[in-house]
Amino acid sequence: MSIPRFDGYIFDLDGTIYLGDQILPGATELLTTLRREGRRIAFLSNNPTRTREQYSLKLHRLGIEVALDEVINSSYVLVQWLLAHAPGATLFVCGEAPLIGELEAAGFRLSEQAGSIDFVVASFDRTFTYHKLQVAFDAIRAGARLIATNPDRFCPVPGGGEPDAAAIIAAIEACTATQCELNVGKPSPIMARTIGELIQVPPERCLMVGDRLMTDIAMGAAAGMATLLVLTGDSSRADLATAPAQPTYIAETLLELI
């Protein structure tokens, strides 16, 4: 199927533009072509283990020109949601240093005292310990609400993957008999609205490009965008049989968009 041109392009990062520290086939050539044509471009990641600044620097190192305001990730969206809906909240974060630093920089207080915690934030956390689980357990039993940065089961890396935020969410839900009430990452409409405000192109004139049916494709479809599944990361053709959201287009690599 021929893939037409769109006014706006939203690209997932991990598994779509790069895998680990390797640029994926066609990414550099495609982005150069789209820039030359004057298309609006944004980059979107559920991964909160880097800040927007760090993502921008990584893309530059890989040879991709990008402005900071073209990059959105789940930690940025979480900060914006908390500033709008719970300014001054006290948090306990099951997450890594970049996420914690962004929350502190936005003025949020962090605590391990159960009775003072308003929100437990579950995230991709390779430093997760039983102590963190205990603090989250105590906080939620004392009335704290459970929210999360992203719902991903794993983060793709060369040769496999790393357990992602879904594992942390599941551990907290299992011991507290509660449910995570808010997840700001893809496929959340909160993430879709944030990227829409950034790219300033109507959704029907945008193409969401990603490697995950349950996040990238689901979010784009729900937001009214055309979607393209690229088979360089998480999802395969076999996964299409059970996916509730079907992509508009499928490509083996980004080279097919050129």
Binding-site residue positions for substrate: 45-47, 186
Residue 173 to residue 219: CA distance in whole angstroms: 24
146 forms beta bridges with: 120
Residue 39 to residue 37: CA distance in whole angstroms: 6
Cα distance from N-terminal residue to C-terminal residue, the chain: 13
Residue 252 to residue 220: CA distance in whole angstroms: 19
Whole-number CA gyration radius for the chain: 18
Q: How many residues does the chain have?
A: 258
DSSP state of 252: S
Binding residues: 12, 14, 45-47, 186, 211
Binding residues for Mg(2+): 12, 14, 211
Catalytic position from the list 7, 12, 118, 239: 12
Which residue type occupies 39?
A: R
Concerning whether 7 is annotated as a catalytic residue, the answer is no
14 forms beta bridges with: 18
250 forms beta bridges with: 229
Which has the closest alpha carbon to 210: 56, 47, 43?
Answer: 43
Concerning whether 125 is annotated as a catalytic residue, the answer is no
Phi, psi of 183 (to 5 degrees): -130, 115
H/E segment holding residue 135:
helix 130-141
Which residue type occupies 13?
A: L
Active site residues: 12, 14
